[in-house]
Structure 1
């Protein structure tokens, strides 16, 4: 009985954070699982909201690219939804393949390991991790995003992207410095990316946060395209003292992962 009361209490507490406008918009998206096309009148009938409100939700979703309006004045899902689904599917497959390797890295080094992708022109996203066992561990929240050049994983990915991609990144990125060691400009970034390709790994040398160091290697397809990067991170003193151990673990994991991608 106590567990039920606790669950009810948590649910009630969470209710106060719900944005009902977002909830309604997502309820409309859910309708498209059952119906190929919907008009404002259809949404009114199925959800019990007035027609004017239904129309405004549909127009907003259309403007954001999630649905499109046909010649019959009805709406249907857009290709953007399919793209999001493919991204989610690819992420789950990557996580399933790579997570055991992250665990082995963190177990072998004691430091935290992360899996990062770049499905945005400028930012990387942390999508999986294995938290270290040592004190003062690094624990980044999943879903965290950051400019690619500020992270070791982001630089590992950028180094193996096309010149066109890198040039577009430079035009769009913000080079404001987070620490005295942060990359200052495009010229410095290009030099570092060239160095990463030569040595096969990248380093965040207290560029995102003073006192923290991260080593990373890219995960490449058979054609050499970067699909992700894995890293090992922790306090600078420990990371520097065990650099070769971290790089060996990362390179071994990347080699095994890339075999699994083929």
Structure 2
């Protein structure tokens, strides 16, 4: 480990945690390093625009270089590449069909990726196809973590139409369902979209903490019994956490 690089990175981490800025003395005390050493490191970081001085010249904060780097990282981040091997492992460990979806501006989900098993079941989903939010596990997983405005917009503009006898069509009941999703950390489509098909889903959080994506596993009702769900849920939740981590999510929801 190169000590000067390590200390420079520690300075950046400290400044990240204190947006208002920190002075040389405070940084030196935090890192238990001589002020002269901190001053040299800070001067180097400042010259490369990784940090900048406050208006009164008494403290330092993160610099504009991070905005430039942020856009490069986000622009290069491909959700399909990030999630693919996690989906493959999820499908292999559960022997179920695994899906990755994204919410669309028209209040639907679009299937971005699908990993199939040797199962002979045939279901509605295919890459590029869209599905409603209110009767799919992935849709409910995303909606449960949307803002109040987004949820109100959805409920005021979209009909909770019936696809099967188990589809939730009452707005109050649906909001109660979303509250259960938030409490449990996962959503279930219990034959609400297709008869005989059950799926469980979890949200995927991006670097901003937004649930723009979701993943799920799907099977027939006998294949997705309560005993099986208890077995699959930890695997599914871990997969969701891993994809969220790869997208830069730092929270704990």
User: Normalised by the size of structure 2, how large is the TM-score?
Assistant: 0.65
- Alpha-carbon RMSD across the aligned residues, in angstroms, is 2.1
5+ long unaligned stretches in structure 1? 1-88
1:34-64 deviations in whole A, cap 9, x for unaligned?
xxxxxxxxxxxxxxxxxxxxxxxxxxxxxxx
Indicate the residue corresponding to 2:245 in structure 1: 259
* CA distance in 2: counterparts of 1:137 and 1:91, whole angstroms: 34
1:167 corresponds to: 152
Q: Which residue of 1 aligns with 2:219?
A: 234
Aligned counterpart for 2:205 among listed residues 220, 228, 241: 220
Note the residue ranges of structure 2 that are not aligned, 5 or more in a row.
Answer: 1-73, 249-253
After TM superposition, list the pairs within 5 Å mapping 1:128-139 onto structure 2.
128-136=113-121, 138=123
In the alignment, which of 89, 93, 113 is matched to residue 108 of structure 1? 93
CA distance in 2, matches of 1:210, 1:237: 12
- Which one of the candidate residues 107, 130, 133 is aligned to 1:122? 107
| Secondary structure of the structure 2 residue equivalent to 1:197 | helix
152-161 or 220-229: bigger deviation: 220-229
**Secondary structure of residue in 2 paired with 1:219:** strand
Pick one of 177, 186, 201 that aligns with 1:201: 186
What is the number of residues matched between the two proteins?
175
What whole-Å deviation, never above 9, does each CA across 1:131-158 have from its counterpart, x for those lacking one? Answer: 1223325462111112211110000000
State the match for 1:176 in structure 2.
161
3-state secondary structure, aligned to 1:150: coil
Q: Residue 245 of structure 1: CA displacement? A: 2.3
Supply the distance in 2 between the matched residues of 1:225 and 1:166 (Cα, whole angstroms).
13
Distance 1:128 1:206, change over 3 A: same
Give the match's secondary structure for 2:88: helix
Structure with more of its chain in helix, by fraction: 1
The structure 1 segments of at least 4 consecutive aligned residues displaced by more than 6 Å after TM superposition are 89-92
C-alpha contact 1:216 1:230 (8 A) present in aligned 2? yes
Q: 1:138 to 1:218 in 2, by over 3 A?
A: same
User: Alignment partner of 2:134: what SS?
Assistant: helix
Further displaced range: 233-242 or 220-229: 220-229
